[in-house]
Homo-oligomer: A and B are copies of this chain.
Amino acid sequence: MTEIHEAPPGEFNAAVLAASLAGKHAADTVEILNGLQPSDAADVVRLLPREAAIEILDKPELYFGAEIIAALPRHVAGALLAGMSADVAADIVQLLEEPAKTELLGELDGVSRGAIVDLLAYPENTAGAMMTTEFVSVPSTWTVEQTLQHVRSVERTRETVYAIYLLDPVNRRIVGAVSLRRLISGEPSAKISALALEPITTLPLTDREDVARLIAKYDLLAVPVIDKAGHLLGIVTVDDIIDAIIEESTEDVQKFGGMSATEEPYMQIGMMDMIRKRGGWLAVLFVSEMLTASVMQHFEGELEKALVLTLFIPLIMSSGGNSGSQATSLLIRSLALQDVKLDDWWRVMLRELPTGMILGGVLGVIGLVRVVLWQKLGIYDYGEHWILVGLTVASALIGVVAFGSVAGSMLPFALQRVGFDPASASAPFVATLVDVTGLMIYFSVALLILRGTLL
């Protein structure tokens, strides 16, 4: 397809790009816009038909929603915000700076503004902040036919119509939920309440991870969010929950890797921001790890007498850190999936202690074999007490790996116990914890086995 008036390559032409987007799926358009500068993306959005622009801004995957809205003329931006899902619109408004924020809210009609302001009041990552207020509800006294007519008439303006909520006509509390599939199969003259099921609901301050668990467990397409009196405030839909699960998963891996979670894609994070997010934890870990230098200083006399011991320090420390990292990753997920409850900590410890000792024993045997082989093959001379050195290494490994397994598995419990996310436990943190203790275990074992010979 060759166009005559095409823009020269490399030069950005909003009109050409906007025209080429006609008929594209909104999700694909979002990917293209994400590759542009925010101001260029705003130029393109301005040229799109209103419906298309709303559909694109409604995608939480769009990086620069707030920048685009801020760059558009206020009345255009207001019309777009009013057409969007209230939950995504609220997310965008939250990111706006003053005076744009107040000016834009002023452009909105009372209903749209009210919905957005209400949503802004809920803390991030809660059901309240995620919910949309565009749901379908009908009085519980209606018939199937009435309900179906209503669904048809509001279909275009609702985020989902696959679940219909029944409200008590007097106190307007939620009394039931009907799926669209049950509705269309119902007898038109039947009472809608005859098809209803007890709704599975959540409260606005529930954490998004718990909402995700509810949706996953009951295979729901949406969860109604209610206040304590039972009034329906909004619904959280399955597509928002998928985005949330993916985001949580990214955060969990990053936290486990030992850094603060990032919100933007890798290439979008400024270098200084990146250094802050990584440097903070790195410095904390570094200062804690300084204890290893103190431990080594404390055992300086022993090190001088038996320099051969230093050769195995990295090996023993890292084995403790590795077994701790394994145990932590196991328990973080078990607690997140609720396979294991907080009260199970002692049951876990009773498993981890023997598991760690056996794993340490296996490594100990490998370590001992190495010392014997190197000695016998003449690769390295560990001195006249080489067999005792080998036994020291093997015994220390049992202790260090067992300690690593127990400490690594208990850390997520401890974090959850004091009200933190168990997923805040990171592999580097566990390694630091185990390094310091591991060194002490190693030197103590050495003193026990080598006293009278090397020490």
Q: Which residues of A contact B (CB under 8 A)?
A: 25, 27, 61, 148, 151-152, 155-156, 161-162, 180-182, 184-185, 200, 212, 215-219, 221, 238-239, 241-243, 245-246, 248-250, 252-254, 256-259, 262, 265-267, 271, 274-275, 278-279, 281-283, 285-287, 289-290, 292-293, 296-297, 300, 303-304, 307, 310-315, 317-319, 321-323, 325-334, 337, 339-340, 344, 347-348, 351, 354-355, 358-359, 362-363, 366-367, 370, 380, 401, 426-428, 431-432, 435, 439
User: Is A340 within 8 A of B266, CB to CB?
Assistant: yes
- Give min CB distance, A192 to chain B, whole Å: 15
> How many Å lie between the Cα of A69 and that of B56 in the bound state?
48
Which chain B residues border A248 with CB–CB below 8 Å?
249
Q: Which 3 A-B pairs have the closest CB atoms?
A: A257-B329, A265-B339, A292-B314
By secondary structure, the A interface counts as helix
Given A185-B152, A313-B314, is A355 in contact with B271 using a C-beta cutoff of 8 Å?
Answer: yes
> How many Å lie between the Cα of A355 and that of B394 in the bound state?
39
User: Is B340 within 8 A of A265, CB to CB?
Assistant: yes
Which chain B residues border A250 with CB–CB below 8 Å?
333, 337
User: Is A312 within 8 A of B333, CB to CB?
Assistant: no
- Give min CB distance, A142 to chain B, whole Å: 16
Identify which of B292, B337, B344 contacts A315 (C-beta below 8 A): B292
Q: List 18 A-B contacts (CB under 8 A).
A: A25-B218, A152-B185, A155-B184, A216-B242, A216-B246, A271-B355, A275-B358, A278-B323, A286-B367, A289-B314, A293-B314, A293-B370, A296-B313, A297-B311, A300-B307, A303-B310, A310-B310, A431-B431
